[in-house]
Chains A and B, each alone.
Chain A
Amino acid sequence: MSFSALGLVALLVYLAAMLGVAELAKRARRDESPSDHFLAGRQLGVLVLFLTLYATAYSGNSLIGYPGKAYRTGFSFIMATGFMMSIVVVFHALVPRLRPLAVRLRFVTPGDWVRHRFAAEPALRPLVLCVGILMSIALGNFLLAQLKAMGEVTSLVTGGVIPYHWGVVGLALLILFYETRGGMRAVAWTDAAQGILMLFGLAALLVWLLMEAGGLGAVTQAVAAVRPEAVALPDAERCAGWFSTIALLGLASVIYPQAIQRIYAARSGRALARSFAIMSFMPLLTTLVVTLIGVAAISRVDLAPGAASDGVMPILLQEWASAGGLPRFAAVLVFLGALSAIMSTADSCLLSLGSLLARDVFGRLGSDAATTRLGKRLAALVLLAVIPLALQRDVTLWRLIELKMELLIQCVPAFLLALHLRRQAALPTLVGLLVGTSLAVGLTLAGMPRIGGVHVGLLALVVNVMLVMAGSLLGPRAGQLQTLGSHRGFVGATDNALPGG
């Protein structure tokens, strides 16, 4: 059987299986409430929770974009293993404080936290709206990247039998179908299956690559011979960029709406902590593998300087598949693993977008079926709006994800800081967010995505945090002075004196 025929059959079997899982999820549904649809009734146990966190965190960018980036950058892209790990580290600052509140107050979206935290303050509504809009733009951006990747992988795995455009449209509609029917339960269960497929696919690819190249030492020597700068120590600016990327992705990724919603959806705090403990090792099994694959490709693939680096992984897989027999089957498995990573991230984005738009942007806070229906309709509308953009193929996945992070990171003070700084007020948080976002977008549009190797989004966050701190600590906070009494400053210092929790 040819590669394209095998790919087509495997793709159809995979998609049918996803529909089957979605149908099972629909039958497991308890009611039509937003909590059941968007958070799977808050009943995700360790294994499913871990797999859905894993499949959501590792997207099309991780499997297609990162090898391309490693191919262009060389060994210094080992930083990716560090920044993916930093996400699980930064969650320490968020989860232990946010989770109990989410359980007690039945949070559904990130905006629910903001509403609770800054309740009764005049700037609350614009703050929730701005956070909601910023997160929606970031999610829309992320969704766009996934749709593009879906089109590329579908076209490749079927040898062009299903062209890029049909891949984008067909798979987008399939995701919308199963997400609408089964909600978070369908998304989490399909994510679990997709996560397992992804792990097998990556392991198979790494084994093949190392065997082909004759081990790590041979890979390094070959890379050093072809492109010496790929093995050279990074200069000061690159080191600054390394730190900056770790901070940017670590801080921004923990406030992905879909990640926050998984904190809400866990069956228990213990299940959540165990899932994160397992997640700590996943960058070694995923990001490190794709980095080594990208680096190993330096001596095997001759990509033109201007060509999109996202093409590296597909070229390698096609080379592998051309060997026929078992390698061909394994190459199809890797393609499906990549498609799984992409689809699992896209479905999570779409689900979060629905709830975020309904509750945080349009202010529908009800727990009835009408709110759920509104969320589903809004998600469908966003998807239909993003599809035409995804049909444009000229922006690489890496640039898309960087833009998204620089916007998302401006929401950090409303979450990470607000969980720890008791004096933080809504108005300075809003001002900081608006100034930080304007600065990040303005500098990026002015052609300065980095200054001295540091992302402008991170620099804008520093300004953002300074404004929040100055405004909150220096200015009086209306309506809270009486309640707080003498309990000022950072929460950690006054834990025992805090009200009822």
Chain B
Amino acid sequence: MGPATGGRSGARVGEQASAGARWRRPLRGLLLAAIGVLYLISVPWYRDQTAPLALSFGLPDWVAFALACYIAVAVLNAVAWLLTDVPDDARAPDPAPETEESGRENRA
């Protein structure tokens, strides 16, 4: 493979990575929102208190449903983590103001 081809290939990889980053961020946000909804419905605040005990998979049905929500949370959260970019370099935004002291003190 010639250098020119390699360069094009490298550029393509870069473009693909950039495109990947573009869809990964909203997808991660979507997963986290879904996790929020799952937490909201896992607690049986909306159920009829007077309903008789019903079993599902050997557990009270409200427990089985809460458990199903938490299993879904585990899967979605794991996927969200795999989509999360945790940079090791200085690319990430720094919420602190840039001052002389901020870096020097911690490098001491």
Contacts and interface: CB of A to CB of B under 8 A. Distances in A.
Interface of A: 75, 78-79, 81-82, 85-86, 88-89, 92, 95-97, 99-101, 103-107, 112, 115-120, 215-220, 224, 231-236, 239, 242-243, 246, 268-270, 272-274, 276-278, 280-281, 283-284, 288, 365-367, 418-422, 424, 479-480, 483-484, 491, 495, 498-501
Given A82-B39, A220-B60, A88 B70 contact: no
A262 to B, nearest CB: 13
A206 to B, nearest CB: 14
A495 B92 CA distance: 9
A483 B102 CA distance: 13
B70 to A, nearest CB: 5
Contacts of B77: 85, 88-89, 277, 280
A117 B91 contact: no
Interface of B: 32, 35, 39, 42-45, 47-49, 51, 53, 55, 57-60, 62-63, 66-67, 69-71, 73-75, 77-82, 84-99, 101-103, 105-108
B41 to A, nearest CB: 11
Given A81-B67, A280-B78, A96 B86 contact: yes
Contact of B53 (A231, A234, A272): A231
A88 B81 CA distance: 9
A280 B84 CA distance: 14
B45 A239 contact: yes
B63 A78 contact: yes
Given A105-B103, A269-B88, A419-B95, 16 more contacts: A82-B69, A85-B70, A92-B32, A95-B86, A99-B92, A100-B91, A119-B105, A232-B53, A239-B44, A273-B82, A280-B75, A288-B67, A365-B108, A498-B93, A501-B91, A501-B93
A76 to B, nearest CB: 8
A442 B75 CA distance: 40
B40 to A, nearest CB: 9
